[in-house]
Amino acid sequence: MPSKILINKLAKLAVKVGANVQKDQLVIVRATTETKEIVREVVKEAYLAGAKKVYVQWSDDYVSHSNLTYQTVDTLQDVPNWLVEQYKDFVDQGACFISISSPIPGLNQDVDPEKAQKSGIAVQKAVSFFREFLMGNKSQWTIIAAPNAVWARQVFPKLGEKEAEEALWKAIFDASRVTEDNDPVEEWAKHNETLLKHNKILNNYNFKHLHFKNSLGTDLIVELVKNHVWAGGGENATTGVYFNPYMQT
């Protein structure tokens, strides 16, 4: 594990810059059991930012794998009413969401793809209102990442397990602009200012097309739609709160 300082800085960044948690707001943290250390820090930082309540939705990829393997298609498509009501409550309360991603690559390669597909479609249909809420930026949301041993070894196959995890942590901290001796919240304020400035410049040009060329022979012209919009960095929720949805991308 990296230092407590770095973990805390990443958690604070997710809360203050990613989701931009507001006073007395309900905060939903969605995470896998692989990420419990940073989840604990995110919960604490959310309360320090003024959250009235923080609720953690835990999941476990290995349990999900067993569900997909052994449940019937009919059972997988049966979305319980309590789950739908839970998401309705989140929406009604104007909750914001912090997701902590830590995938296990290849875990479900032996799962019947039809079962996985039908299960996913059933859930999406049952809580379609929630996707509209989130993707419509009706509240703040953000996604950050945290390593696990399997994922780290796939990214850094030449390293041992411990070294690979340390390397993946470093990559995540670097992408998040988190170091031992900086203030990442301040760094992101500057970063967002730069991105917004660049967006404005590009939008003012209103290019007709982009022309890509290189020394290997690439010569590609991409026409752009009329009145296209360049965007990047943070976004405004319909509530007027500014947030950064994808911290590490």
Domain chopping of the chain, boundaries: 4-193+236-243
Using a 10 angstrom Cβ sphere, with 0-12 exposed, 13-18 middle and 19 or more buried, the burial of residue 101 is middle
CB-based contact 196:229 (threshold 8 Å): no
CB-based contact 27:14 (threshold 8 Å): no
What mean pLDDT comes out for the span 34-63? 97
φ/ψ of 22, rounded to 5, equals: -100, 160
Q: How far is CA 223 from the centre of its chain?
A: 31
What mean pLDDT comes out for the span 156-168? 96
The CATH architecture annotation of domain 4-193+236-243 reads 3-Layer(aba) Sandwich (3.40)
What mean pLDDT comes out for the span 44-51? 98
Question: Which residue in this structure is represented by tokens 């300082």?
Answer: 5
Residue 249 pLDDT grade (very low, low, confident, very high; cuts 50, 70, 90) = confident
Across 80-89, 161-170, 216-225, 226-235, least confident range: 226-235
53-59 sheet: strands from edge to edge: 53-59, 26-32, 96-101, 141-145
pTM of the complete model: 0.92
Evaluate if residue 13 carries a pLDDT over 90.
yes
- Tokens, residue 168: 């993946």
User: Which pLDDT value is given to residue 233?
Assistant: 86
**3-class state of residue 105 by DSSP:** coil
Strands, DSSP E only, in 65-166?
Answer: 96-101, 141-145
In whole angstroms, give the CA distance from residue 245 to residue 249: 9
CB-based contact 232:194 (threshold 8 Å): no
User: Which pLDDT value is given to residue 18?
Assistant: 97
User: Which pLDDT value is given to residue 19?
Assistant: 98
In whole angstroms, give the CA distance from residue 34 to residue 195: 32
- Tokens, residue 169: 């942590």
CB-based contact 71:98 (threshold 8 Å): no
Evaluate if residue 234 carries a pLDDT over 80.
yes
